[in-house]
Amino acid sequence: MAKVLTSRSESYAQWYNDLVIKAGLAENSAVRGCMVIKPYGYAIWEKMQRALDDMFKETGHQNAYFPLFIPKSYFSKEADHVEGFAKECAVVTHYRLKNSPDGKGVVVDPDAKLEEELIVRPTSETIIWSTYKNWIQSYRDLPIKINQWANVVRWEMRTRLFLRTAEFLWQEGHTAHATRQEAVEESETMLRVYAEFAEKWMAMPVIQGYKTASERFAGALETLTIEALMQDGKALQSGTSHFLGQNFAKVFDVKFASKEGKEEYVWATSWGVSTRLMGALVMAHSDDHGLVLPPKLAPIQVVIVPIYKKEEELAQIVEVADKIAAGLKQLGVSVKVDADDNHKPGWKFAQYELQGVPVRLAIGPRDLKNQTVELARRDTLTKDLMPTEGIENYIKALLDEIQASIYQRALAFREENTRKADSYEEFKQILDDQGGFVLAHWDGTDETELKIKEETKATIRCIPIGSPDEPGKCMISGKPSQRRVVFARAY
RNA sequence: CGGGGUGUAGCACAGCCCGGUUAGUGUGCCUGCUUUGGGAGCAGGAAGUCGCAGGUUCGAAUCCUGCCACCCCGACCA
């Protein structure tokens, strides 16, 4: 069995492979570590995109698109100034193929060598800031608040489906501001947008906080993160927002004339979430029956499965099903009536559970007679016989309840698995026995952080925002600490 | 890039150690009949360059060499 997402958790492995093949969420492609997202899985991503995009627009952003290929020279500029930013990149060196001289297949035409290599974007800072340079002259041109939906390629040493694929889909926001304060606020606003999306749409509670210096994005003055806890007790960084200061402006020479007539460098932010969120969604909620989707992100919210013996029965049932479906659509609920005769009801039940459809209705001859439907909830796996009358409004309300219920369950899980440790011994004990988030005191030094990482594999996920002051002592050095930070083993 | 593992039908695997007819099993697929309130039953059928390239041998899925791909554990990261 493919143990792809959580190698330490058998439960996912049991159904994951089925899901990949039958539900079409994704599968490894022949292209190294890239992923194939089949239509059903992509529909989930589209719902995520739409919700996020609306939130970006509400916060004053616009979408734009920049090139996939970036001349190598753009990178050398950046690499001089941004240590460690050099990614594993795919490089285009030629622009033509020709028939192989030996008559077998094709070869790269050596005469078609590019003068300057092109890099397939691993991220778009370089090309976007090179462009912003031409767009910005005056404070009147600011702020620029642009988002790009795109694919990027990072030739990672090791890939993990959804969590770290060679090619992935994401959005990257890149903003330019006249003042430091405005940029800081922007980075904080976008972190809040991500947190709200994770909690309200994905039903996944997150901890918002600051990354430590060692975990910061290369070139950022501050990196903000949302951290979620997966069901196997490991943390997943689910989104980041960076305050970049004037670093990129200086590298790419982006200056503007201020109101006072002075020449100043602009202040920048960048922020992004990726198809990693699909992995987060799977790992946060799913059970051994398959996906559990929060209704707000489910491509199909309600499925109606007819149960019948004869054609006439089917016709009668479909008539009732269509009526319910029409009523649900009026209420803005997405619904599918599966009258496909190729599969039996039991097969369909299992299939829609695998796909995480939140509500399933079954209608058979018995129900026709009694004017009832059998309603099954995916999140609780419970079934109830309900009167057909008024079922549409009941379902509409139930979907909200399921959304809230899935969130509450994930929140309860996180709270149960968030523990305080006051000594290093206790800290290690918790990590080994239970996992989850561990709140502990840290003296703020890189050395202590590194020591803990090397000895326990746990990293500081973040210094949480808005946590109460609680003076204490670093569990390693005994030096004073103002508040606890969040540790965990992570993906 | 270091360590480990796996490549055999659409998918999941057995066979390999110890070479020997026509390469199997489950599932999926096709046809027919019976079925349909939790992944249907029976009968018949189609489907394989045994990852690739060499080598050893009368004979290779099986032994040897090289290469490739994928998975897992590290280093790296959204």
In angstroms, rounded to a whole number, what is the distance separating the alpha carbons of residues A40 and A23?
7
* pLDDT at site A52: 98
pLDDT tier for residue A375 given thresholds of 50, 70 and 90: very high
What is the per-residue DSSP string for A292-346?
A: ---GGG-S-SEEEEE--SSHHHHHHHHHHHHHHHHHHHHTT--EEE---TTS-HH
Chain mean pLDDT for chain A: 89
A324: which residues sit within 8 A by CB, 6+ positions away?
A304, A335, A361, A373, A388, A391, A392
Among all strands, which nt has the closest C1' to A368 (CA)?
Answer: B37
A85: which residues sit within 8 A by CB, 6+ positions away?
A78, A79, A218, A219
Nearest to A333 by CA among A283, A419, A402: A402
Check residues A264 and A87 and name the one with the higher pLDDT: A264
Here the tokens at position A150 are 């795109």
| Spacing of A304 CA from B45 C1' in Å | 35
pLDDT tier for residue A283 given thresholds of 50, 70 and 90: confident
pLDDT tier for residue A6 given thresholds of 50, 70 and 90: very low
Among all strands, which nt has the closest C1' to A169 (CA)?
Answer: B78
* pLDDT at site A91: 84
* pLDDT at site A5: 43
Nucleotides of B under 7 A from a protein CB: 1-2, 11-13, 35-40, 69-78
Among all strands, which nt has the closest C1' to A8 (CA)?
Answer: B72
Among all strands, which nt has the closest C1' to A154 (CA)?
Answer: B77
Task: Judge whether residue A324 has pLDDT over 80.
Answer: yes
Q: pLDDT tens for residues A198-250?
A: 999 999 999 999 999 988 888 889 999 999 999 888 999 999 999 999 988 99
Closest residue, by C-alpha, to the C1' of B13: A1
Check residues A184 and A78 and name the one with the higher pLDDT: A184
| Spacing of A490 CA from B75 C1' in Å | 15
| Confidence (pTM) | 0.93
**Helix, strand, coil % over all residues of chain A, rounded to 5:** 40, 30, 35
Task: Judge whether residue A32 has pLDDT over 90.
Answer: no
In angstroms, rounded to a whole number, what is the distance separating the alpha carbons of residues A480 and A482?
7
Closest residue, by C-alpha, to the C1' of B71: A2
A114 touches A61 (CB < 8 A): no
* pLDDT at site A163: 85
Among all strands, which nt has the closest C1' to A309 (CA)?
Answer: B36
| Spacing of A13 CA from B13 C1' in Å | 17
Q: Tell me, what amino acid is at A72?
A: K
Closest residue, by C-alpha, to the C1' of B40: A344
A306 touches A364 (CB < 8 A): yes
Among all strands, which nt has the closest C1' to A84 (CA)?
Answer: B76
% pLDDT > 90, chain A: 66
Task: Judge whether residue A22 has pLDDT over 70.
Answer: no
ipTM summary value:
0.85
| Spacing of A301 CA from B29 C1' in Å | 31
Closest residue, by C-alpha, to the C1' of B72: A7
A91-94 and A263-265 beta bridge pairing: unpaired
* pLDDT at site A227: 96
% pLDDT > 70, chain A: 91
Determine the 3-state secondary structure of A135 from DSSP: helix
| Spacing of A457 CA from B61 C1' in Å | 43
Among all strands, which nt has the closest C1' to A376 (CA)?
Answer: B38
> In residues, how long is chain A?
491
pLDDT tier for residue A74 given thresholds of 50, 70 and 90: confident
| Spacing of A201 CA from B62 C1' in Å | 54
Among all strands, which nt has the closest C1' to A347 (CA)?
Answer: B39
* pLDDT at site A156: 79
Question: Helices (DSSP H) in A1-140: which residue ranges?
Answer: 10-18, 39-58, 72-81, 125-135
| Spacing of A53 CA from B39 C1' in Å | 38
Least confident of A107-111, A257-261, A345-349: A107-111
Range from A86-100, A287-301, A316-330 that averages highest in pLDDT: A316-330
Question: Helices (DSSP H) in A144-298: which residue ranges?
Answer: 180-196, 247-252, 276-285
* pLDDT at site A10: 46
In angstroms, rounded to a whole number, what is the distance separating the alpha carbons of residues A321 and A1?
38
* pLDDT at site A167: 85
Q: pLDDT tens for residues A394-436?
A: 999 999 999 999 999 999 999 999 999 999 999 999 998 889 9
| Spacing of A30 CA from B50 C1' in Å | 20
| Spacing of A166 CA from B1 C1' in Å | 17
pLDDT tier for residue A4 given thresholds of 50, 70 and 90: very low
* pLDDT at site A438: 96
* pLDDT at site A1: 21
* pLDDT at site A240: 95
Task: Judge whether residue A9 has pLDDT over 60.
Answer: no
Q: pLDDT tens for residues A133-185?
A: 999 999 999 999 999 999 998 887 777 878 888 888 999 999 999 999 999 99
Average pLDDT (A58-81) is: 85
* pLDDT at site A311: 86
